[in-house]
Structure 1
C-alpha cells in the first residue's frame, strides 16, 4: 500500500530559510501580523487533513471512478463527498480569499503550500476545490458587485463549486474559433448555447451548486479572440435569498473515460439556451479567463509537484526495503541474502533525480506564490511591477518544466519498483497515469514554451528575463569570492551566459524564418528552466554550506545540490544544440511522405 507524509521540514526550509516569509509578510500591510508560528501551525493542520482524510481515498477513488448515472447526474467515488464536507467545515476553501466575502485573507503562498499537500494526497479529489478557487479569482477580478455578492460567499465557503468552460470539440488552444453563442435576454441575462468538452469537475455531487465560467460569442462579436465574452452560468439559478433555485439548462451529457484522474468528473457540458450573466465587458472575456487560466497553470504545476513528492516517498521506502543483488563494492548487509537496491548507483540516480526536481520545484512554486502576494499587495509600485514581471516570466516554467520533470519522476518511481511498480497494488502506476495529463492541461507544454520565448522574452525585448538575470548577477557577486561556492557559481554563470546568447540567436533567426522559433521553443524552455533551478539550487547550497554541521538535513541538501549540478544541469548542452538546429530538418519533408 502507498504511503504519504507531508514534507514539512523541507517546506519550513523553503518558507523560513530561503524566503524568510515572516519578514516578507511584514512588508505587506494586509499580512503584517502573520508570523512564522502561524504559518507552521496552518501547514501542520493542512497536512493532517491531506494525509488522514483524502490520501486514504486516492486508490479507492481511482479504482471506482466517477459514475454517470444518467440525465446529467454524476456521482463521485465513495467518501469524496464526505471528505469535501469536512474540507469546508474546517474552512480550507476560504484560506486565501477576501474577508469581505467570508475569506480568511491569508497569503496566496500559504494556499500554495496547502495545495501541494492536497495534490500529493489525491490529485483527482483536489481538482474539485482547485477549480473553484480559479473561478473565485476570475469573478473577484472581473465581476460586478451584484455577481460578487450572489456567488462569491458561496464559492469562498465551498458550499458551491466552480469550473472553467473553454474547450469545444473543434477548438482547444485556439479559442478564437469557439462557436458557443450568447443571445441577449430581455432581463439583462443571456441565453448561452453550445457544447464544451474536457470540463474538469463539470458535474458531481460534492456541492449544492456548480458555477460554470463560460466563454461564448455575442451576436455582434468580431472574429477571433477579440470577440470572446465571459459568462457565469450556474447549474441552479440562485433565488433572491441565495439558495439554489430553478435548474438551468446546462447539463452534463457524459463523462470522459480517461487514462488517469478517474475520480475527477471530466465532463461534456451542453448548454441549451442556458441562462448566464456577463462577467466584465463584452468581447473582453479573455482577460478574465486568463486570470483563471494563469492561476490554473500555476495550479497544474502544484499538481505535478505533489505527485512527484509522493512518488519519491514511496520509491525511496521501497528502495530501502527491497533486497536484490549485492553492492558492486561488496556486501553491505552480510546477514541478508542480498543488499537493498538503494546501494546501486543507478537506483540512486533515479531517487536523486526525483529529490532534486521536487525540492527545486517546491522552492520555485513557493517563491512564485510569494511574488503573487507582493504583486497584489506590496505598497511600493516598483516592487509590485517587478514581482508581476517575474511571475509572468516564471508561470510557463512552473507549468511546463515542473510537469515535465514530475512525469519523469513518477516514471522513475515506477522503475525503482520494477515489476511491482507496474501492478495496481503498490499505487505507483496511478501516479504515472495521473501525472501525464498535467503536460496537456491549460495549454500544452509546447504552448507554454511558445509563450515563454515569444510573449515573455522576445515581445518585451528581454525585459522580464533581464530582471531575473539581475537576481542571478547579484547572487553571483555576493558569492563569487567564496571558494566553497565555486562548484555552484561557475556553472550558474555559464548557463546564464548561454541563455543570453541563445535568446539573441533565436530572436534573430525567428525574424528570418518564424518556423525556427517554433522549432526552438521547447528546448529553450528546458534550458531556461534549468537556469532557474541552477539559481535556486545555488541559493539552497549556500544555506546548506553554512549549516551542514547542524544536522543531516543540510548535508542531504548539499549533496542533492551537487547531484543536480553534476547530473541534471548538463541536459542543457543537448537542448541548446537542438534549439540551434532550427526548423530545416523538421519542415523539409513533404506532408505526403510522412
Structure 2
C-alpha cells in the first residue's frame, strides 16, 4: 500500500492561545482594573494568534550556536555564531515589549501581569528566548535601583528598548566551579585600577572563571567578584557591570567590536540536555574591565533583584511550557478517533486525564500570577509591607513548585497522544527537555526550600501570610461554605500546619515538604479567591471555578503534602544515618562516604556527597 492510500490522520490545529485558554481570560478579568483590561486584551488576543505564529516560524529556524576559538592562522578569536532564528526570536520579543512593558509601567503595578502573560503565551513556542530576556529584565532592575546617572542614561534605555537595533541583552554571572549555588566560595577577584575612571562606577580589573554563562551573546553582564578576603565568604563579594565587548556604547548600526576586546574568553560551550539553542558557556575573565555597582562587599544584596526576577521568569516559563503541552494534547483529542468512531474528546477516561492536567495548570496559573501582581506592586511602590513580606516568601516557593509539578504533567500530556506524542514533530521532546532546566536554574527545590526558611525567619513574614490567608477564608459566603465543607476544612488544616511549621524551628528534613505544603495551600487560597469572585459576580464559569478549587484541595496532593511534612517532622535523629546506609551501604562511615571520589567528565574529583 502506498503511504498516500488508506487512513490519513486529520492534523490538529492549535486555537488562539489566549482566547482558548481555560484560566487566563477569567483571571485577567479579575486581576486587572476594567480600563487596563480593555486596553491590553486586544493585544493579547492578537499575540495569541498571529504573534505566536511568527514565533513558531522563527523557532523552526533556531539552531545550536557555534564557537570558533581560533582562526585559520591560529589567532584566538572566540567567534560565537548564533542562528538566524535565535536572533529573530530575540528581536520579535523585544518589539512585543519584553522587557519594555515592565519598565514603561503604562499600567502601573499591572504592567508586570500584562508582560508576563505575553511571556507565558510564548513559552513553548520560542526556543527559550526568555532565558536572556529574563536576565536582561533583572539587570535592568539592578541599574534602576543601583546604577549611576550615566548607567541609567546610557545602558538602562538599551536594556528595555523595543527597537532591536538599539536594544541590549544582559547576563548574570555568579555560578563558579567550587560552589555552584554556594557563592561564598567565589574565586573570581576584582582589583581597583589606579587612575582609571568611568561614569558607570569605580573601574576594576576582574580575573576568574565563570562556570555557567547563559547569555554569552549579550552585550553586558552583572557579575559577582571578590573584593574582600577569602575568609569573608559572601560578605567579601561586590557586584560589577561588565561589558562583553568594548566599547560598550557606540552609535546604532555600528558593527559589534570583536570578541576578546574586554579580555573575556569563551572556554567552551556547554553540552546540555535541553536549551540547546541558548549559547551557554564557560568564561575566562583575564583582566576584564568592570564597573563596581554600589558599595564594596554589598554584592549579594545588590544582585538579589536579578534572582527574584529570574525566578519569576522561571516559574512563568514552566507554566507556559505546560500550557503549550496541554493545548497540543487538547487539540489532538478533538481530531483523533478511537476505532474510527469515537473522538478522544468524547471518551470519558481520556477527558478525565486532561481534566486532571487542567486543574493543576489552573492552580499554577493563579499561584504564579498572584506572585507576579505582588512583584508589580512592590516595584511601583504601592505594595503594603505585608504584601512585600508575602512576595519574599512566595518567590522561591512559586519557582520551585511550578517547575516541579509542571514537568510531570507535561510528560502526561505527551502520553495522552500515544506514540505521536513521542515524535519530535509534535514539539513535546524539545519543550519538555527545555523545561527541565527550570528545576535547576536559579535554585533547585532543596535550595529554594532553605531560602524559604530564611525568608520566614524575618519577623512578621509568616504573620503577613497568615493574615492574608485568613481574609481569603473568611470571604467565602455561607452558600459556598456549605458546598465546600470538606475542602475548606482540609485547607484550614494545611494553613494551620504551614503557619506552625514556619514559626517554629523546623526539623532537619522538613524544609522541602514544608515548601510543597505552603505552595499547595497558597495556590488553593488563590483558587478560592477566584471562585468567590466568580460566584459573587455571576460569572458563567462560577460553578467550574468552584469545582476546580474543590478538586485541587481534595484530589491533587494536599493531604499527601500534609503526610509528607508530618513524616519529616517525626523522623528521628537516626534517619539521616539510615539514609546514608540506604544510599552508600550499611556500615560505611560518613567520612568514608565523603572520601569516595567520583570522576566527572573533565577529570576533576568531587566528593560523592555533592
Q: Which whole-Å deviations, capped at 9, do the CAs of 1:427-468 have from their partners, x for residues lacking one?
A: 11222211111011101111111222x1122x135x323222
Tell me, in whole angstroms, the C-alpha distance in 1 between the residues paired with 2:379 and 2:86: 34
- Residue 156 of structure 1 pairs with residue 170 of structure 2: no
Q: Does 1:407 align with 2:395?
A: no
Q: Would you say 1:355 and 2:358 are equivalent positions?
A: yes
Deviation at 1:178, TM superposition (A): 0.7
CA contact (8 A) 1:67 1:75 kept: yes
Do the aligned partners of 2:139 and 2:171 also contact (CA within 8 Å) in 1?
Answer: yes
Distance 1:238 1:103 in 2: 35
Deviation at 1:368, TM superposition (A): 1.9
- Mapped partners of 2:344, 2:580: distance in 1: 53
Unaligned runs of 5+ in 1: 24-33, 204-208, 326-335, 511-515
Superposition map of 1:510-525 within 5 A = 510=506, 516-517=507-508, 519-525=509-515
- Alignment match, 2:321: 307
Distance (whole Å) between structure 1 residues aligned to residue 363 and residue 126 of structure 2:
22
Please give the alpha-carbon distance, in whole angstroms, between the structure 1 residues aligned to 2:98 and 2:286. 34
Deviation at 1:39, TM superposition (A): 2.3
Q: Residues 496-511 of structure 1 correspond to what in structure 2 (within 5 A)? A: 496-501=492-497, 503-504=499-500, 508=504, 510=506
Corresponding residue of 1:72: 78
How far did 1:46 drift?
Answer: 4.0
Distance (whole Å) between structure 2 residues aligned to residue 376 and residue 323 of structure 1: 50
Q: Is the Cα contact below 8 Å between 1:401 and 1:529 reproduced in 2?
A: yes
Matches within 5 A, 1:317-356: 317-324=331-338, 336-340=340-344, 343-345=347-349, 347-356=350-359
- The residue matched to 1:237 in structure 2 has which SS? coil
Confirm or deny that 1:582 pairs with 2:591: no
Q: Matched residues in 2 for 1:481 and 1:240: separation? A: 62
State the partner residue of 1:178.
186
Shift of 1:577: 3.4
How far does residue 489 in structure 1 lie from its aligned partner after superposition? Answer: 5.6
Give the drift of 1:146: 2.5
State the alpha-carbon separation in 1 of the partners of residues 497 and 545 from structure 2: 31
- 1:415 and 1:197 map into 2 onto residues whose CA distance is 36
> How far apart, CA to CA, are the structure 2 residues paired with 1:523 and 1:342?
38
In structure 2, the CA distance between the partners of 1:388 and 1:242, relative to structure 1 (3 Å rule), is: farther
Conserved in 2, the CA contact under 8 Å of 1:217 and 1:229?
yes
Do 1:356 and 1:560's aligned partners in 2 also have CA atoms closer than 8 Å?
A: yes
Q: Which residue of 2 aligns with 1:455?
A: 454
Query: Structure 2 CA distance, aligned partners of 1:360 and 1:105?
Result: 22
What TM-score comes out, normalization by structure 2 length?
0.82
The equivalent of 1:139 in structure 2 is: 143
Contact 2:135 2:172 in 1 (8 A): yes
- Any gaps of 5 or more consecutive residues in structure 2? 1-10, 70-76, 198-202, 587-610
Task: Give the aligned partner of residue 24 of structure 2.
Answer: 11
RMSD between aligned residues: 2.9
SS of the residue 2:17 aligns to: coil
Shift in Å at residue 562 of structure 1? 3.5
Q: Is 1:445 matched up with 2:445? A: yes
Shift of 1:582: 2.7
Match in the other structure for 2:377: 374
In 1, the alpha carbon distance for the partners of 2:90 and 2:43 equals 18
CA contact (8 A) 1:123 1:303 kept: no
1:301 Cα deviation (Å)?
0.3
The DSSP-based 3-state class of the residue aligned with 2:356 is: helix
Moved more, 295-304 or 3-12: 3-12
Cα pair distance change 1:160/1:492, threshold 3 Å: same
Matches within 5 A, 1:260-279: 260-279=274-293
For residue 35 of structure 1, give the secondary structure of its aligned residue in structure 2. Answer: helix
Does the 8 A contact of 1:488 with 1:538 survive in 2?
Answer: no
| TM-score normalised by L of structure 1 | 0.84
Q: Does 1:469 align with 2:466?
A: yes
Task: Give me the whole-angstrom Cα distance separating, in 1, the residues matched to 2:103 and 2:501.
Answer: 44
Deviations 1:553-588 (A, max 9, x none): 555444433432332033334323333333632333
- Shift, 1:161, TM fit: 0.9
Specify the alignment match of 2:554 in structure 1. 566
> Structure 1 residues 571 and 239, CA, compared in 2 at 3 Å: closer, same or farther?
closer
Deviation string for 1:149-206 (max 9, x for gaps)? 2311221225211000000122211100010011111204111111112211223xxx
Q: Is the 8 A contact 1:97 1:103 kept in 2?
A: no
Inter-CA distance 310–413: structure 2 relative to 1 (3 Å threshold): same
Residue of 191, 194, 205 corresponding to 2:205: 191
Cα-to-partner distance string for 1:464-514 (whole Å, 9 max, x where unaligned): 2322222232233232522x343446423433334433553576564xxxx
1:205-261 Cα shifts (integer Å, max 9, x gaps): xxxx61011110125575211011111110122367667668211132221111111
> Residue 289 of structure 1 is aligned with which of 303, 306, 318?
303
Deviation at 1:76, TM superposition (A): 2.5
Displacement of 1:395 after TM fit?
0.6
Q: Distance in 2 between matches of 1:402 and 1:291?
A: 20
Greater helix percent: which structure?
1
Q: 1:593 to 1:503 in 2, by over 3 A?
A: farther
- Any idea what the Cα deviations from partners look like across 1:20-67, whole Å, max 9, x if unmatched? x227xxxxxxxxxx6322122343344356412222334553xx3222
Residues 3 and 361 (structure 1), Cα distance of their counterparts in 2 relative to 1, 3 Å cut: same
Evaluate the alpha carbon distance shift between residue 251 and residue 89 of structure 1 in structure 2; reply closer, same or farther with a 3 A threshold: same
User: Compared with structure 1, are the counterparts of its residues 353 and 76 closer, same or farther at alpha carbon in structure 2 (3 Å cutoff)?
Assistant: farther
CA distance in 2, matches of 1:369, 1:108: 6
Aligned pairs, number: 547
